[in-house]
Structure 1
Amino acid sequence: MLTLLHTSPVHVPVFDALRDRHHPGLELRHLVHEELLAAARSDGPGAMDSALGVVLTEAVADGATVVLCTRSTIGGAAQAYTARLGVPVLRVDRPMAAAAGAAAPERDTVRIAVVAALRSTLAPTTDLIREEAAAAGRRADLRTVWADGAWDRFEGGDRDGYLDLVARAVDAITGVDVVVLAQASMAAAADRTGTALPVLSSPAPGLRAAVAAAAGDAERSARDV
């Protein structure tokens, strides 16, 4: 069972729509734990580690064979449970980070703008991009771009206002090879931009990687029967 761990219910329809479009018939289980993000924001990612462990352990006990964490802020902490739980725990932003690190292949350095609306997302995202770029033998020249006021719109339930402010921030960016949207909730803003730059978001490639991992697990289980 592919299980998705969210820290906001707004992500559920996003991933259901991606499933319907690209992976019809796939069964997904959604878990929403808003308290994990609240703990990470107030005291840092380590503050919610114990609660995260409980959530993931219960998910595996309920049949999860792959878990996809859709919140960048806690993705690294969630992924660290893979060995302990014996099932893949994936972070949704890793495929996006790998794609960003592979941009502009004609140069040793790739120039990346990371758009964020929530400060707790920034360090996990930039660290991951540097890691993926280094794995590809590249250096990541990172620039942080804040979507001012966007998170207040998100928390206030103004999705259109949130996405418009993110798109506005993207459209003001110049002098980079690729733009990364640091939060999964930003994905739809890419369709509202007028930039000619590549704009990467995490939900579609993240779900694709999780589906592949789940398929691999099913194949291994079939061979073991």
Structure 2
Amino acid sequence: MGQTLGLIHTSPVLTQMFGTLCARQMPGVEVFHMVDESLIRDTIRAGEVRKLTIRRLLSMVESAGEAGADAVMVTCSSLGEAVTLAQQVFDFPVIRVDEAMAEAAVRTGEKLGVMATIRTTLEPTTALLREKAAAMGRKVELVECLCDGAFEAVLTGDTKTHDRIVSAALLDEMRGVDAVVLAQASMARVVEAMPEGSLKMPVLSSPELSVQRAREVLQELAGASA
């Protein structure tokens, strides 16, 4: 019997990106998507992940498991606190979209740039990087960059302005760092569109690495049940 991965998004624009990545990296796995934009909108409005939002996300994770998901991945970094809680609550794997990225970044260097378009994503990402660094016994210096105006541009459908702001910040604000972490999955396409060789440091984004982690998790599950 084939395996199933449930993906929970807070933006519909991520369904195609993650669907394509999953089809490429684990073609034998069935994937389904659940989307609730209100989760991120409420978090931005409140400036934090409210208990109500945590309960709602846990309910979505539970629904995904009941719908047949062998593992569930939440693709919104702003909800990292709630995802960590879900990992403790459910018997099936729940994957944080930014966890594999954070681990890779800490292994890459000591001075890390962290970029986001909203503060509610920047803060949990920096917290995760410090947590992973401590667990791995490594010291990190974090250079934070909030790309003002980029998220608002996306909300109006102006992806060109979003991409211009993010790419300019990559070139101007991230000089001298060992690596850059893009805190939001939606930022990944900006790097792909930039001219080859324009960035002198590695830039890590969560989509590719998180799907690789999901594949590894599912392979471990398959091995355990064999």
Structure 1 length as normaliser, TM-score? 0.91
Q: Which residue of 1 aligns with 2:185?
A: 184
Q: Which residue of 1 aligns with 2:133?
A: 133
Q: Which residue of 2 aligns with 1:6?
A: 9
Q: Which residue of 2 aligns with 1:53?
A: 58
- Does 1:90 pair with 2:95? yes
Q: Which runs of 5+ in 2 are unaligned?
A: none
User: 1:100 deviation in Å?
Assistant: 0.9
Contact 2:58–2:86 (8 Å) recurs in 1: yes
Paired letter, 1:219:
G
Q: Which residue of 2 aligns with 1:201?
A: 205
Contact 2:122–2:146 (8 Å) recurs in 1: no
Q: Deviations over 1:124-159 (max 9, x none)?
A: 100001111122211110111122211111111122
**The residue matched to 1:45 in structure 2 has which SS?**
coil
Distance 1:206 1:7 in 2: 16
Distance 2:206 2:124 in 1: 14
**The residue matched to 1:80 in structure 2 has which SS?**
helix
**The residue matched to 2:108 in structure 1 has which SS?**
coil
Structure 2 length as normaliser, TM-score? 0.91
Contact 1:167–1:192 (8 Å) recurs in 2: no
Map 1:46-85 to 2 at 5 A. 46-47=50-51, 48-85=53-90
Paired letter, 2:125:
T
Distance 1:79 1:64 in 2: 18
User: 1:57 deviation in Å?
Assistant: 1.3
Contact 2:25–2:211 (8 Å) recurs in 1: no
| Identity fraction in percent | 37
- Does 1:159 pair with 2:164? no
Q: Aligned Cα RMSD in Å?
A: 1.4
Greater CA deviation, 160-169 or 201-210? 160-169
Greater CA deviation, 131-140 or 174-183? 131-140
**The residue matched to 2:115 in structure 1 has which SS?**
strand
Contact 1:2–1:211 (8 Å) recurs in 2: no
User: 1:61 deviation in Å?
Assistant: 1.1
Q: Which residue of 2 aligns with 1:26?
A: 29
**The residue matched to 1:121 in structure 2 has which SS?**
helix
Contact 1:116–1:122 (8 Å) recurs in 2: yes
The number of residues matched between the two structures is 217
Distance 2:20 2:164 in 1: 21
**The residue matched to 1:4 in structure 2 has which SS?**
strand
**The residue matched to 1:81 in structure 2 has which SS?**
helix
Contact 1:75–1:90 (8 Å) recurs in 2: no
User: 1:89 deviation in Å?
Assistant: 0.8
Distance 2:41 2:152 in 1: 15
Q: Which runs of 5+ in 1 are unaligned?
A: 105-109
User: 1:55 deviation in Å?
Assistant: 1.1
